């Protein structure tokens, strides 16, 4: 087999499988690993793949360049747009924290007059930018992990409110396990919110749909509306629609 032939084969393999091992290629093509290594080095020089210890990865694999910024920002903006439409003047809105909720805060129309209740510092700061929104911060112990207030006082306060809408930044949702979290205190707060709200709206990127964490917040039936960045007719949601959820 010619060198050029071999290299196009390797490139093909990389593009199809996203990754190759030097040892595998060596066996497949029946040349020494040294030769494979030299080929990979050459192709890497030409920028056609990325050489790593033990093999190579396809170019497109390295997509997490801007890890500094919010993950899946575009998706979250799109979710925020849909969610913002649900809020009407005069409403009482209860929200958790999280980056999706922050995007919602940014997406609120500037003339909206409403009252927002929140346990999240970051969300509160974002709401403060809006001239016509009244903010009630729910106080209690501050969780350093979640950056929201947690604890019995906060739960009690939440239950005193009867909000029209409750937006949950969602960590994981699954038809059998329902809405799940990875932090006990956060779960308690969200549970209190779900209990007291007239209408519960879960916001999540599609990637988190059908994933589960360790601690259950509530059953899927307690959620009225599910918002993701995908169009609502996506087959991913049929099970949720069957369970009676509105998908936007």
Interface contacts to its own copies, rule CB under 8 A: 2-5, 8, 11-12, 15-19, 21, 47-50, 52-55, 57-64, 67-72, 98-99, 121-122, 124-125, 127-128, 134-142, 144-145, 147, 149, 154, 157, 171-172, 182-183, 205, 207-208, 211, 213
Q: Tell whether residue 55 is a contact of DNA (CB under 7 A).
A: yes
Contact assessment for residue 183 and residue 143, using Cβ atoms and an 8 Å cutoff: yes
Cβ at position 17, least distance to its own copies in Å: 6
Contact window for DNA (CB under 7 A) among 27-35, 152-160, 180-188, 235-243? 27-35
Cβ at position 50, least distance to its own copies in Å: 8
Q: Which is nearer to its own copies, 109 or 139 (CB)?
A: 139
Q: What are phi and psi of 12, to 5 degrees?
A: -60, -45
Q: Which is nearer to DNA, 21 or 243 (CB)?
A: 21
Partner from DNA, its own copies, none contacting 38, C-beta within 5 to 8 A by type: DNA
The span from the first CA to the last CA of the chain, in angstroms, equals 55
Q: Tell whether residue 17 is a contact of DNA (CB under 7 A).
A: no
Partner from its own copies, DNA, none contacting 163, C-beta within 5 to 8 A by type: none
H/E run at residue 95: strand 92-95
Contact assessment for residue 166 and residue 94, using Cβ atoms and an 8 Å cutoff: yes
Return the sign of the alpha-carbon dihedral for residues 161, 166, 172, 176.
positive
| CB contact set of 27 (below 8 Å; sequence gap of 6+) | none
CA within 13 Å, CB half, 63: 6
Partner from its own copies, DNA, none contacting 70, C-beta within 5 to 8 A by type: its own copies
CA 199/CA 248 separation, integer angstroms = 14
Structure tokens, 141: 């112990």
Q: What are the residues binding DNA (CB under 7 A)?
A: 2-3, 6, 21-23, 31-35, 37-38, 41, 51-55, 131
């Amino acid at each position: 087999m010619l060198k050029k032939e071999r290299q196009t084969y390797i490139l093909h393999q990389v593009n199809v499988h996203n990754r190759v091992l030097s040892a595998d290629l060596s066996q497949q093509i029946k040349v020494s690993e040294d030769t494979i290594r030299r080929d990979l080095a050459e192709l890497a020089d030409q920028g056609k793949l990325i050489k790593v210890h033990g093999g190579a990865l396809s170019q497109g694999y390295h997509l997490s360049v801007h890890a500094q910024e919010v993950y899946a920002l575009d998706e979250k903006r799109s979710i925020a747009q849909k969610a913002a439409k649900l809020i009407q003047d005069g409403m009482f809105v209860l929200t958790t924290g999280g980056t999706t909720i922050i995007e919602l805060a940014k997406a609120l129309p500037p003339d909206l007059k409403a009252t927002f209740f929140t346990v999240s510092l970051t969300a509160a700061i974002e709401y403060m930018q809006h001239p016509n929104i009244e903010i009630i911060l729910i106080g209690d112990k501050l969780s350093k992990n979640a950056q929201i207030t947690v604890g019995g006082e906060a739960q009690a306060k939440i239950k005193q409110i009867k909000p029209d809408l409750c937006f949950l930044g969602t960590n994981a949702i699954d038809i059998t396990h329902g809405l799940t979290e990875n932090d006990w205190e956060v779960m308690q707060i969200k549970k209190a919110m779900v209990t007291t709200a007239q209408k519960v709206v879960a916001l999540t990127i599609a990637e988190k749909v059908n994933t589960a964490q360790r601690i259950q917040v509530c059953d899927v039936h307690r959620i009225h509306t599910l918002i993701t960045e995908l169009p609502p007719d996506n087959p991913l949601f049929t099970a949720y629609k069957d369970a009676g959820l509105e998908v936007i």
